[in-house]
Amino acid sequence: MIRLATTIKQMLLGLNEEVVSKAKELDPELKTETDELKVYEVGDYEVTISLKDKDNPMVKCTCAFWKYQGPEYHAKQGDYLLGKPQGTATEPKSKDPDGKNKVCKHVYATIQLLLNSRSK
């Protein structure tokens, strides 16, 4: 099966404004790094990102928002979920009826950090 990966731009398009706003308060710190994976500590949570394909990263977060509010579902559907779902990855009809929770604030802050460091 050929991976029809979601680009960073698609991942961040039409996001929940509250996620974007809250992400500005976060400061991701690189915790560990291998050739294929980077793990960031973002507050009390960990964001793991695979940059094997730099334009189409795969991500996951350990926060409950990621698991229950839509991001994990959207990541699975968009083929940017790194690894297996922590939860059921079912469509969040009541928690995200408009489909705007494509990532959590921790993933958003980490992606912004990576984008900013790439442009320098």
Q: What is the pLDDT of residues 40-86, one digit of tens each?
A: 999 999 999 998 877 788 999 999 999 999 999 999 999 999 999 99
Give residues with Cβ within 8 angstroms of 60, minimum separation 6. 47, 48, 66, 72, 75, 81, 82, 83, 86
Integer angstrom CA distances of residue 82 from 11, 33, 74, 93, 98: 14, 15, 12, 23, 23
Give domain limits for the chain.
Answer: 8-118
Is the pTM of the predicted complex or chain greater than 0.75? yes
